[in-house]
Every structure is written in structure tokens, then in C-alpha cells.
Structure 1
Amino acid sequence: MRMEQLFAAGVRVGERLKARRETVAVAESAAGGLISAALLAVPGASAFYLGGAVVYTPRARHRLLGLRREDVRGFMSATEPFALLMAETIRKQHSVTWGIGETGAAGPNGNPYGHAAGHDVVAVSGPVQLARTIAMGSSDRQANMLAFALAALELLGEQLDREEQK
């Protein structure tokens, strides 16, 4: 996958959010800011993108999301419940329609919690909540980061499709 594909996905999602007058905020980890970058590359992004954070460490989780140890007790990083917590927290913090959460291990090694490189979880929180686990089976850090970001945008796009079909 190439950056052009990621930016094209950002345009597709961003234009739909603008047309629907909906907003998004992003809490991402292993994608390293690529989800936000793809959305911010859309002209007029300020109409739908209200903020984001790269939440790469427990300290960042506390400082950027306001989540304390007791808030995450019982959660393990790079799991669906944790990604949903990130998405819901950023959504509430920014008072947006949709929150995106992403957490995983880009590589070349796994994370301290036993997840292999290429393992990631993306989540959306809004009118619906949904998380999806991704297993790339690769230790290629850059390729994984791009794939994680694309998966997050695709998950939000699928939810926008479902909302439009109602």
C-alpha cells in the first residue's frame, strides 16, 4: 500500500463527514498520526476534524486522554475493549459525532503484552460502537502503520454506509 491510497481513503471519509455535517476526533497509537494526516489532507478538514492525539505511551494516555491508571485497570493495550475506550474517550473530549481509536504493534517487534508485530485494533465510537482486530502477519513497520490507518478509515466508512442505509 502507498500513501496515495491512504490519502484517497481520507478524502472519501472526509468528504462524507462534511456532507453529513458530522465531526471526528482521533486517538491513535501504532499508526503514529497517519489516520489524522489522511483526514487533515482533505481540503476543508476543519469542517469535520476537531482534533487528535498520538497516544503512544501510558504517560501520553494520561496526559492526552485524561485516562488514569484506575480508568484503564482491567484493560490491556491492543485489544478491542481498549480501542473502544480510546475512541469513546476522544469522542467525548472533543464533543464530536465520531471517535476513532487505534492501538497495536507496528513492528518490527511485538508489544510487551504478547501481541505480535502487525497486530492492531481499530475502533469507532459514535451512533454505533464497533472494533475490529487486524493481524497483518508482517514485521514491516511502515507497511503496518499504513495498513492500520487505512483499516481505521475503512471502519469509519463502513459505519457511515450503515448509517446512510437506515
Structure 2
Amino acid sequence: MSQNLMNDLWAAGARVGARLKERGETVAIVESSAGGLISAALLRVPGASAYYMGGGVIYTRTSIREIAGIDMKKLWKEQGIRSSTEPFANLLSESIRTSHETTWGLAETGAAGPGNGYGDPAGHSCHAVTGPSPAVMTLRTGEEDRGDNMIRFAISALGFFEKQLEAPMAA
């Protein structure tokens, strides 16, 4: 694991946390391939309880159902949506935002390494932000290292969220 990446992660969490505190806004997080690192970066900031309302790591169909309230079999059957996609990340983000009654929802889903059963390579991650300025994105690191990818996913998700915090509010 690269110490520089970890330092970048802690810095991203500090910037986002400071901005949320400054704005008096709250966030809930749901993440899979980042393994809790997004939440850890936000919780590392003293006074995080002012903006971090909770979240969880989803890694199985059971955890997706229990934490995000989403039935994967039903979602696939009825809408053709699978994990590790932008539409799925968006559903996760909205679900966690709604259940935690926060200003923002942030979700991450992907394949840190190796790839997943859907054909997504190692280093594939989708992020979604819901709230005043919603957006989705896909990241492909091109890297094979699982640990580094997890950190990169968390840094990317926090950076993406930080950009949305600065974006004009959606109509």
C-alpha cells in the first residue's frame, strides 16, 4: 500500500469534511469495492458527527438488501440493472440518502481486483452523488493491485463529491 495514496485519501476526507461542516450539510455513504475507506477518510476528521450520518459497506446480496434496501434479483429481473454500473451506484446513493435523511448520498461500486463476474476489469469503479447537485461517473484505474485500487476508488469518490459540492445546484 502506498503511503502517498493514504495521505491523499486523508487529505480528500479532510477537504470534504471541512466543506460539509462549513455548509451545514450532511452525508451518508454506501460503498463496496472501497471497503469502508471513504467513510474512514470522512470519520478521521474531528467533529465528523456534524456531517457524517452513517452508511455501510455492501459486499453481498444480503448486505445490499439490508443496508441499501435493494433486492438485486428483483432489480435485475425488472430493470436489467446489475452491480458495478452507474445506474446501480445512483440507486445506492439515493437509497442511503433517503434512509439516513441526509443532504447528500455518496455511493461507490466496482471491482478492486481481480475483475468481477460481469466482465469489469480490476480497477473499475462507479460513483454516484445524489442531493443538490447529482451526478454519476465511472473510473478505470488500469491497475491490478487490489489495495491500491481500493484507495484510488475512495480518493476518486471523495474528489468527485467535492466537485459536486462546488457545482451549481440542480434545478
TM range (shorter): over 0.9
Secondary structure of the residue that 2:167 maps to in structure 1? helix
Q: List runs of 5+ in structure 1 lacking aligned partners.
A: none
1:43 lines up with 2:49 in the alignment? no
Q: How does 1:8-157 map to 2 (within 5 A)?
A: 8-68=11-71, 69-71=73-75, 73=77, 74-107=80-113, 109-157=114-162
| CA deviation profile, 1:66-119 (whole Å, cap 9, x unmatched) | 112324542111110000011000000100001001000001x10011100111
Question: Mean alpha-carbon deviation: is it higher for 65-74 or for 28-37?
Answer: 65-74
Aligned counterparts of 1:157 and 1:64: Cα–Cα separation in 2: 24
Aligned counterparts of 1:140 and 1:161: Cα–Cα separation in 2: 31
Paired AA for residue 31 in structure 2: E
TM-score, structure 2 length as denominator? 0.92
* 1:144 positional shift: 0.4
The number of residues matched between the two structures is 163
* 1:163 positional shift: 3.6
TM-score, structure 1 length as denominator? 0.94
Paired AA for residue 89 in structure 2: A
Paired AA for residue 91 in structure 2: L
Paired AA for residue 10 in structure 1: G
Identity of aligned residues (%): 52
Instruction: Tell me the C-alpha RMSD between the 2 structures.
Output: 1.2
**Deviation beyond 6 Å, 4+ runs, structure 1:** none
Paired AA for residue 32 in structure 1: G
Q: List runs of 5+ in structure 2 lacking aligned partners.
A: none
